[in-house]
Structure 1
Amino acid sequence: MEPFTIISLIFITVCWALFLTLKTPKNLPPGPPRLPIIGNIHQLKGGVPHRVLRTLARKYGPIMYLQLGQIRTVVISSPRLAQEILKTNDVVFADRPTTIASQILFYKAQDIAWAPYGSYWRQMRKICTLELLSAKRVRSYSFIRDEEIRNMRTRLESSTGKAVVLRDVVVQMVNDVICRATVGDVCKDRSTLIDVLFDIMRAVIAFNMASYYPSLGFVNVVSGKKAKWLKRQKQLDVILEDILEEHRRNRSNGGNDQEDLVDVLLRIKENCDLDQPITNDNVKGIILDMLIGGTSTSSMTLEWAMAELMKNPKIMKKVQAEVRRIASGNTIAETDIQNMHYLKMVIKETFRLHGPPLLVPRVSREDCVVDGYNIPVKTRIIINSWACGTDPDSWENADSFIPERFENSSITYLGSDYELLPFGGGRRICPGIAFGVGIIENALANLLFHFDWELSNGLKPEELDMTEATVLSNLPKHPLEVVPITVSC
């Protein structure tokens, strides 16, 4: 394409964007002043998004309007208004935004997380709830979780007294659990798969001009981003297609006694008794959801929990004392976990401060009124769950890590308490809560039971950097480096 043609297209598009920006509906929520063309995009720079948005919300209000290029956006930053979106008006805000990245990487949004709200999504959600992640099936995979946690312990014991990057250890453990439960065995291309998965996460959450200016979609072609996404999707598709083919062969040869999630999906697909038949791309999209959702959230939570415990030695000693008092022998049973109340408080507090900070965006399906303000159809809704979790009207000493705050509290992370939303809420709440929490509880209990921990290079607890990364989810900017010391229990 000639440079002059590109410049002309950009000029026309910018003029159209300016027209849309000036054509603002009435009685929108309050928000910061907007610039022509870019709106409020410039105000999202200079920090991690959830912190920048909380700062703006404390000035302009818990329901705040931002014009991000051509995209009308409303940011929700309080538990009361999160309930308005996720419960009172749940159906109105049940859609997902359509982006080029999600269309390419998630099989034209044929997964569950990005699929538009409708009959297909309801059918797949039902399959996920009743078949893939039911309480019975999650329990059936507990042996996989226990085996991989033992493997993690073995790796750490071989490094006792030496510095290890905890992120590498827990990502490998969590990914192996998810892979075995999803596809039946540790993925042969695990290292490639992890790289692809994290690249996909970056593509979905990273700043992309075309996502704010849909009419500038050609920029992704000119910049090479679309080609990169297509290459990554092809890599991923080859891995997933190999997985499906192996499962089809196993099923034709009699199958295995233990069904993994791919077996379940193929069985449902072959039965042909669905209102909407599912395709191989549907199956691959759901597998992708499981791999990304399970690996990223569980490993992130474990790293942050350990970082907070290293930062707060008194809390570390207290939770270790509980774990070692309740567990017997050299293993931790499921019944032991249920009696580790302080451990569960530590995990809740980690979810509150370090869970997914921004929920996956929603889109209004029709005009609506929230808190007295007009929300036009096709407005993008961002719920700042971190702002809800640090809301000063809901939490005392909201920015401090204090697990004891849950001692006499009935607040849960199951989507009905809007002060704590690590898994979202409403119709589109994450269906894998039991699976993910089971990994986190058991892994953390084992890390605390079998090892004492020191910071590397003589670092003192108060010197530990808790800065968040700005490029990928809500990970620590600097991976936690610790020294495991094996103890005899």
Structure 2
Amino acid sequence: MPENSSMSMDRPSPLVPASPYWTLCGTATMRKTCMVELLGGRSLRRFSFIRQQEIGCFLRVMMPSAGEPVDVSAKFGVLTGNILVRMATGRTIEKGSRVLDLVQEASEIGGQFYLGDYSKFMSRWDVQGYKKKCRDIHERLDGLMEEVVKEHQSRRMEKTVEGKDIIDVLLKSIKEDKEEGGLTEEDVKSLILDVYVGGFHTASIPLQFGLMELVRHPSVLLKAQEEMDSVVGKKRLVEERDLANLPYLEAIVKETLRLHPPVPMVPRASTEDCRVGEYDIPANTWVFVNVWAMGKDPCLWDSPSEFRPERFLGSPVNVKGEYFELLPFGSGLRMCPGSAHALLVFRTVLACLIQCFDWEVDGGPKRLDVEERSAGMTVSMANKLICRPIPRFDALIVEYKSANESLNYR
């Protein structure tokens, strides 16, 4: 397999240095494959029905829980997992949950401190057992992905255009580029795993923190609900096409990502000697940009510890890597390729939660546990987010009919 393939499990692709493997693959580039074919605007539009179905199913499950304590952290994990698994493989979460469990393991080990990065001697002897763990995860992941790819190859010709998922798109690329040294089957498995690893956490973690902050700040939730009622009304459910007309919702999204970036440290490797500020950085040096600390820097933000979405109203600052004070998904050519998908899911689900429910917690908002914990490369809530959803409307959810009513959100 390619040396820099994430299936090698030496490091996931966000930590793979720029190389001919990433920038050139026959006539197609790996970057183009990720940004255009897998996670670009056209692909996101093609899979909009999946997001619609899964969000509708999620909301219908939440409705009967009115006034009862609900572990919304677990619900968000299943929702974002369902969307990713169906987009990538066409499977439901029951059949894809083994992959997501292994992806969680891969994400955690990918962010661990590894002595071999600092000492060739330690790398040779693997005193932490790091390489052994990586090989074990790799073998299990590779076996699962091999099964999925073979299944797709056996039934590719039976699918209509509407029924094709991301693996189908990648397998088509293999056929088209075969004579020009393009994608291989190993590349397909690697890219799908990158979609899982990058997409699962960047969508589910912001949802947890976003709802937590709304519960802790009832005035913000009320203002967001007023905007929702004014723009969308009370006779239909908010849709993706409405998001552009909801500036306060967008401000909430930015403020959540400022305080709670899902990936707190953005890694980069210097390709040549350079100078950054007062520091000389030798070539081939790992540099970690602490975006978590940047979001709380008083030199960059007024009252940085306060959750205040109003700071972004009328501000040009966005999360697309153009403004270096807010980089939840990184910046430049190595910016997270799944950011558009993660933001779309985050915005849409959060909008539905704001429109459809009031939220309560036992003991009041001030008793809410806001402690964070590190889980490898990500930072999430240390404990489960337990809330009581209070429906604002009864009839909204009926509009959405899911093809996956049997999915286990409970």
Is 1:479 the counterpart of 2:384? The answer is yes
- AA at the equivalent of 1:312: H
Q: Aligned equivalents of 1:444 and 1:218: distance in 2?
A: 47
Q: Aligned equivalents of 1:254 and 1:316: distance in 2?
A: 44
The change in CA–CA distance for 1:292 and 1:228 in structure 2 (over 3 A counts) is same
Is 1:386 the counterpart of 2:287? The answer is no
The change in CA–CA distance for 1:110 and 1:306 in structure 2 (over 3 A counts) is closer
The change in CA–CA distance for 1:217 and 1:405 in structure 2 (over 3 A counts) is same
Is 1:462 the counterpart of 2:366? The answer is yes
- AA at the equivalent of 1:333: E
Would the aligned equivalents of 1:105 and 1:233 in 2 still touch at CA under 8 Å?
no
Corresponding residue for residue 260 of structure 1: 165
Would the aligned equivalents of 1:112 and 1:124 in 2 still touch at CA under 8 Å?
no
Would the aligned equivalents of 1:309 and 1:315 in 2 still touch at CA under 8 Å?
yes
- AA at the equivalent of 1:488: F
Is 1:233 the counterpart of 2:138? The answer is yes
Corresponding residue for residue 15 of structure 1: none
Percent of aligned pairs sharing the same letter: 32
Corresponding residue for residue 118 of structure 1: 19
Alignment of 1:49-88 (within 5 A): none
Is 1:300 the counterpart of 2:201? The answer is no
**Deviations, residues 237-263 of structure 1 (Å, cap 9, x unaligned):** 222111111111121445553332111
Would the aligned equivalents of 1:167 and 1:480 in 2 still touch at CA under 8 Å?
yes
Corresponding residue for residue 415 of structure 1: 321
Alignment of 1:33-48 (within 5 A): none
Alignment of 1:123-138 (within 5 A): 123-138=29-44
Is 1:213 the counterpart of 2:119? The answer is yes
Cα drift, residue 330 of structure 1: 3.2
Would the aligned equivalents of 1:104 and 1:229 in 2 still touch at CA under 8 Å?
no
The change in CA–CA distance for 1:110 and 1:209 in structure 2 (over 3 A counts) is closer
Please, which runs of 5 or more residues in structure 2 have no aligned partner? 24-28, 395-410
Is 1:151 the counterpart of 2:57? The answer is yes
Q: Give the counterpart of 1:355 among 251, 261, 268.
A: 261
**Deviations, residues 345-387 of structure 1 (Å, cap 9, x unaligned):** 0000001110135344111112112225321112110101122
Partner SS state of residue 68, structure 2: coil
Cα drift, residue 121 of structure 1: 0.7
Cα drift, residue 276 of structure 1: 3.7
Would the aligned equivalents of 2:100 and 2:196 in 1 still touch at CA under 8 Å?
no
Cα drift, residue 460 of structure 1: 2.0
- AA at the equivalent of 1:226: K
Would the aligned equivalents of 2:264 and 2:291 in 1 still touch at CA under 8 Å?
yes
**Deviations, residues 124-171 of structure 1 (Å, cap 9, x unaligned):** 002222222221221111111111001111221232221111110011
Q: Aligned equivalents of 2:327 and 2:179: distance in 1?
A: 32
Is 1:291 the counterpart of 2:196? The answer is yes
Q: Give the counterpart of 1:242 among 141, 147, 153.
A: 147
Please, which runs of 5 or more residues in structure 1 have no aligned partner? 1-101
Partner SS state of residue 420, structure 1: coil
Cα drift, residue 225 of structure 1: 4.0
Corresponding residue for residue 177 of structure 2: 272
Cα drift, residue 103 of structure 1: 7.2
Partner SS state of residue 191, structure 2: helix
Q: Aligned equivalents of 1:115 and 1:259: distance in 2?
A: 29
Partner SS state of residue 475, structure 1: strand
Higher relative contact order (CA 8 A, sep 6+): 2
Q: Give the counterpart of 1:172 among 69, 78, 82.
A: 78
Q: Aligned equivalents of 1:372 and 1:274: distance in 2?
A: 49
Cα drift, residue 333 of structure 1: 2.3
Q: Aligned equivalents of 2:340 and 2:17: distance in 1?
A: 24
The change in CA–CA distance for 1:192 and 1:273 in structure 2 (over 3 A counts) is closer
Q: Aligned equivalents of 2:363 and 2:179: distance in 1?
A: 58
- AA at the equivalent of 2:312: F
Q: Aligned equivalents of 1:149 and 1:346: distance in 2?
A: 20
Cα drift, residue 192 of structure 1: 2.1
Q: Aligned equivalents of 2:212 and 2:56: distance in 1?
A: 21
- AA at the equivalent of 1:481: I
Q: Give the counterpart of 2:69 among 143, 156, 163.
A: 163
Corresponding residue for residue 9 of structure 1: none
The change in CA–CA distance for 1:461 and 1:415 in structure 2 (over 3 A counts) is same
The change in CA–CA distance for 1:171 and 1:301 in structure 2 (over 3 A counts) is same
Q: Aligned equivalents of 1:275 and 1:397: distance in 2?
A: 55
Q: Aligned equivalents of 1:118 and 1:379: distance in 2?
A: 16
Alignment of 1:330-409 (within 5 A): 330-409=236-315
The change in CA–CA distance for 1:196 and 1:291 in structure 2 (over 3 A counts) is same
Structure possessing the higher radius of gyration over alpha carbons: 1
Corresponding residue for residue 85 of structure 1: none
Cα RMSD of the aligned pairs, angstroms, is 2.2
The change in CA–CA distance for 1:297 and 1:346 in structure 2 (over 3 A counts) is same
Would the aligned equivalents of 2:261 and 2:328 in 1 still touch at CA under 8 Å?
yes
The change in CA–CA distance for 1:351 and 1:414 in structure 2 (over 3 A counts) is same
- AA at the equivalent of 1:327: V
Q: Aligned equivalents of 1:487 and 1:372: distance in 2?
A: 54
Corresponding residue for residue 312 of structure 1: 217
Which range moves more in the overlay, 113-122 or 412-421? 113-122
Which range moves more in the overlay, 225-234 or 150-159? 225-234
Would the aligned equivalents of 1:182 and 1:260 in 2 still touch at CA under 8 Å?
yes
The change in CA–CA distance for 1:317 and 1:117 in structure 2 (over 3 A counts) is same
